[in-house]
Amino acid sequence: MGHNDPEVDTRTAKEKAIDDWLPITSSREAKWWFSAFHNVTAMVGAGVLSLPYALSELGWGPGVAVLVVSWVVTLYTLWQMVEMHEIVPGKRFDRYHELGQHAFGEKLGLWIVVPQQLIVEVGVDIVYMVTGGKSLQKVHTLVCKEPCKDIKLTYFIMIFASCHFVLAQLPNFNSISLVSLAAAIMSLSYSTIAWTASIKRGVQPNVQYGYKAHSTSETIFSFFGGLGDVAFAYAGHNVVLEIQATIPSTPEKPSKKPMWKGVIVAYIVVAVCYFPVALIGFYVFGNEVEDNILISLNKPTWLIVTANMFVVVHVIGSYQIYAMPVFDMLETVLVKKLHCTPGLPLRLVARSSYVAFTMFIGITFPFFGGLLGFFGGFAFAPTTYFLPCVMWLCIKKPKRFGLSWTINWICIFLGICLMILSPIGGLRQIIQQSKTYKFYS
C-alpha cells in the first residue's frame, strides 16, 4: 500500500499505520471510472430538482445565462483542483485543506478552507436528511390511499437516517463505490423522469413566465435566492481532491490524467441532467413550479413514486460521499490530536454521533429551499467558484493581465458576487417560512 514516489517516506511507522487507516488515504486503487461516478454522485444532487424553481426566480434570460456560466466556471475550477493535486513533485494534496495550507500557509490555510468545507459537507448532509425524508413521505402519500394515517416528516427523516448508521461504517471511498455507482445511475434516472414527465404533462394552460413576486424588492430577493439554488447545484468541488486521492499515481502516470477523464464524463452527465430538467420544467409549469419539480408532477403516480424512490437511493449515496471527508477530519483529530486508539469502537461512536447530529438538525429545521439558498451562497460559492482560482494565483503566480490571470480574476469576481448576494435571498426565505412553521410538526 506504500507511496510509490521517489521521495523518501519520512513518516514514522505509527504515522504510516494511521494514514493507512484514515478513510481518505487508506486505499489508492481506484480507476478513472470511479472518479466519474463519484463526481456525478457528488455533483448531481437533489439540487437538480430545484433548478426549474431557480429559473422561475431568475427569469428566462438571466436564468439560462447563470446556468451555463456556472457550468463553464465550475468545470474550469475543477480542472484547476485536479491540476493542483500534485503540483509539488513527489507530494499529493489528498485533502482540500492541505492544498489550502500549501497556498496560504499552515495556519491560515486551515482557517480559510476547513470552516467552509465543513459548512458545505455538513450542510449538504443536513439538507439531504430532509430531502430523503420528504421523498419518503411523498412516496407514502402517493401509495397510501384512504383511510390512511398522516405520518410526521420527523419520522420519515428518522427512517431515512437509520440506514446511514449502518453505511457510515464503510471505511473509505472505494468501499462506498457501489453505493455511489447506484446513486449516480439514480440521478440520471430521476432527472430523466422529471423532464420526460413534464413534456408528457404539456405546457400548462395559462402558464406564466414573468416574475411571481408583487414588488420590486421581493423580485430582487427571490432572484438572489435563485442564485443560491444554482450555486448549490454545483457543489462537487468539496470532495474532488479526496476522490482523486484514491487514484494511484506515479511520475510517469500522474493521477490527474485518469481523474480528468472521469471529471469530463461526469460533467457531460451533469449537463444531460441539469439543462433539460431546468429548461423543460420551467417551460411546462412557468412560475407556478414547486421548489422540487417532482412535487409539481403528481401523475402518473407509479412514475413519480419511482422517481422519488430513486431520489432516496441517490441521496443515500450522496450523503456518504459528503460525509467521508468529515469522517476523515473527525478521525484525524481524534487519533492525532486526542490520541485515541484507531479502530472499530472509535469509528462506531464518532460516525454514529455525526449521523445523529445531522438527523437532529434536519428534523429541527426542515425548510428545504431557504436553507439551500442560504448555505448555497455562504459556502458553496467560495469553495466551487473562486477559492481554487485564488489558490492558483498564489501557487502558480501567472503573469499580470495575462490570459490565465484575467480568467481567474473574472471567476473570483463572479464568485464573490454570488457569495454576497445569494445568502440574502435564502435568509429572507427562511424568515418568511419560519413565521408559519411549527417545531417538530
Q: Within a 10 A sphere around the Cβ of 111, how many other Cβ atoms?
A: 14
The predicted structure's pLDDT at residue 236: 67
Confidence band, pLDDT 50/70/90 cuts, at residue 441: low
Please give the Cα distance from 2 to 27 (Å, whole number). 10
| Domain assignment of residue 164, given as a range | 29-435
Task: Decide if 65 is inside a domain.
Answer: yes
pLDDT at 144 over 60: yes
Lowest mean pLDDT, pick from 238-242, 314-318, 320-324: 238-242
Q: Is 436 exposed, middle or buried, given 0-12, 13-18 or 19+ CB atoms closer than 10 A?
A: exposed
Cell of 242: 479526496
Residue 22 in any domain: the answer is no
Cis bond upstream, residue 342 (ω within 30): no
Q: Report yes or no on 3 lying in a domain.
A: no
Asked if residue 17 belongs to a domain, the reply is no
Mean predicted confidence (pLDDT) in 297-312: 84
* pLDDT band (50, 70, 90) for residue 11: low
Q: What is the per-residue pLDDT for 413?
A: 92
pLDDT for 247:
87
The cell numbers describing 179, all together, are 453505493
pLDDT of residue 237: 76
Domain for residue 8, yes or no?
no
Q: Is residue 85 included in any domain, yes or no? A: yes
Q: Given pLDDT bands bounded at 50, 70 and 90, which one contains residue 36? A: confident
Average confidence (pLDDT) over 435-440? 64
> Would you say residue 6 has pLDDT above 50?
no
pLDDT at 408 over 90: yes
Residue 23, SS3? coil
- 326 compared with 173, residue with greater pLDDT: 326
Q: Please tell me the least confidently modeled range out of 10-24, 304-318, 386-400.
A: 10-24
The DSSP code sequence of 189-209 is HHHHHHHHHHHHH-SPTT---
Q: Quote the pTM value.
A: 0.84
CB 263 within 8 A of CB 19: no
Query: Mind listing the pLDDT tens digit for each residue in 123-139?
Result: 888 888 988 998 898 88
Q: Note the pLDDT tens digit of each residue in 53-81.
A: 889 888 899 999 999 998 999 899 989 99
CB contact at 8 A, 209 and 288: no
Q: Of all residues in the chain, what percent carry a pLDDT higher than 70? A: 92
Residue 208, domain CATH: 1.20.1740.10
Average of per-residue pLDDT values in the chain? 84
Residue 327 inside a domain? The answer is: yes
In the predicted structure, residue 216 carries a pLDDT above the cut 80: yes
DSSP tag of 234: T
How many domains are contained in the chain? 1
The pLDDT, as a whole number, for residue 253 is 85
Classify residue 128: in a domain, yes or no: yes
Please name the residue that has the C-alpha cell 413566465.
Answer: 209
Cα 262 to chain center, whole Å?
17
